[in-house]
Amino acid sequence: MVCRKLVATAFVALTATMAIAQDDLLYLTTEAGEDRLVKTGLNRDYFSLATYLETEQVLTFCGPASVAAVANSLNIDRPSPDRLYPWTLFTQDLLFNAANQELKPYGMVEHEGLTLEELDQFIENVGLAAEHHFADETSVDELRSAIEATLSDRNARLIVNYSRQALPQKGDGHISPIGAFDADTDSVLILDVAKYKYPPVWITVQKLHDAMMLIDTGSNRSRGFVEVSLQ
């Protein structure tokens, strides 16, 4: 009986902790989430990225979907898909040019996704500048500075690689671009490319850093972020 009571008590405590953690997530589809986006000053990237944000076409294509949105939102030459001729657009498929096929073929990305370093090189291979940072080598303050710097620059974007488990959300490793930052709540808006699963979400910079610190089994390193800019 005592054992059952201890288990029950532990379960209640765990449930309460999870509830608190879930409350840390503020989805953009709520009134409070919308208000935060409208009121914050660093929200410009949201509009350019949301215009081109696509759902990842397979479960492991969060990287290509994020890169496509970022590349389309910046002023670089775009390819012309046959089915859209004569219009131009980066699609998730067309990101696999010769250089990216050599880096990691389409089938391998479909099977296991991209690591942080591969994401960096993938971006550079489509004509953008990229600089990646591992969370275990980057402080929370440095992450915050990178967020503010990229959101203040029309020619820069930020893509984050994090684990959903720390938010908590269902799933594990994921990649998506950042759309806004609110200084009053020290929270950042992740534009989730798994749009069938979750809408954009506000989380604190600390929680994002925590989610980046979890190990990516594909690289056996922490996760992190990539600063993207025009060359």
With bands split at pLDDT 50, 70 and 90, how would you rate the model's confidence at 24? confident
Q: Across residues 148-167, what is the average pLDDT?
A: 97
- d(Cα 175, Cα 186) in Å, to the nearest integer? 20
Q: pLDDT confidence of 19, banded at 50, 70, 90?
A: very low
pLDDT score at 75: 84
What average pLDDT does this structure show over 191-207? 97
Q: What is the rounded CA–CA span in Å between residue 81 and residue 24?
A: 41
Mean residue pLDDT across the chain: 90
Other Cβ atoms within 10 Å of 24 Cβ, number: 15
Residue 139 has pLDDT above 50, yes or no: yes
Tokens 């969370």 belong to 135
Q: What count of other Cβ atoms lies within 10 Å of the Cβ of residue 132?
A: 19
pTM over 0.75: yes
For 170-194, how does the pLDDT look when each residue is reduced to its tens digit (9 = 90+)?
Answer: 999 999 999 999 999 999 999 999 9
User: Nearest-5° angle of CA 44, CA 72, CA 25?
Assistant: 50
| pLDDT value, residue 206 | 97
What residue ranges define each of the domains in the chain, with the CATH number in brackets?
26-230 (3.90.70.30)
Task: Summarize pLDDT for 60-105 with one digit per residue, the tens.
Answer: 999 999 999 999 999 899 999 988 889 999 999 999 999 999 999 9
Question: How would you classify the pairing of strands 201-204 and 187-190?
Answer: antiparallel
- pLDDT(8) > 60: no
3-state secondary structure of 17: helix
CA atoms within 13 A on the CB side of 38: 7
Q: Is the peptide bond before 200 cis (omega within 30 degrees of 0)?
A: no
pLDDT above 70 as % of the chain = 90
Which two tokens mark 165?
């488990």
Structure tokens at 57: 């076409």
pLDDT of residue 23: 54
The Cα 23–Cα 106 span in angstroms is 38
